[in-house]
Structure 1
Amino acid sequence: MNVIGNFKILTVSKDIQGPYMKMKVTLSDGTSTIRFGLDEPTYEHIKEIVSKNYFDSLAKGYRFELLPYYATYQEIDNSQPVFMGSIRCIQDHRAKNIQFPCTERFAGNLEWFKHAVYSTEDIKHLTLDGYEGHF
């Protein structure tokens, strides 16, 4: 994977195209701001996470990062796998990893980043310049 560090979450929102995260992604050849489409269930979980102040309800300066991996497990044999993403909540010198349920589609998109994205050119279609939709 050529992602350097985590994806910095700038916005979690919806528009006419559907739910999305606007994120800053750093790769070996530079940094891009992308529109990362979300399915509705994953959007609801992420929106809830980024709407909370985890350390101090009055504190300012929270930032959130999507960790570029996911976990999967099965609660019982032969059941549907459960996919879990992870967001890092940061405020000053404190940080907390928050796991959230996500869909297989979301996990697949993270997997795509891991195996198919090597440069900013590979995600140009998701950037402000390459994306035809609106932010």
Structure 2
Amino acid sequence: AATRAAQAALDAAHRAHQNVSVAVVDRDGRTLVTLRGDGAGPQSYESAVKKAYTAVSWNAPTSALVKRLDSAPTLKDIPGTLFLAGGAPVTAKGAPVAAVGVAGAPSGDQDETFAKAGVAALGR
């Protein structure tokens, strides 16, 4: 399932002509799968992992978590996290079970769109 989610996210980015890296983590934030698209920047791999870790830790898209920094700026100091759009949680019965992180597109909104495509692939 993790591989299917990662490939779906990478495929969505490819269709949009974006070179990204994708990571899928489990409930404990352990990396299950990483895929790096041709031409993805070297920083994108680690960023994708951190976005996925952040999304599963708070059971929320990282774009929503960015807004929390206004009231709690020290959240960004938690090791392993990255508060940039591009991470999407995978839930079962409302509880986080995994997350998909994507990094490398020109905007976090695009990264998150691709991450959500990965999550959606799990429902197919």
TM-score of the aligned structures, taking structure 1 as reference length: 0.27
Flag the structure with larger Rg: 1
- Higher-strand-fraction structure: 1
- Higher-helix-fraction structure: 2
Q: Which has the higher contact order (CA 8 A, sep 6+)?
A: 2
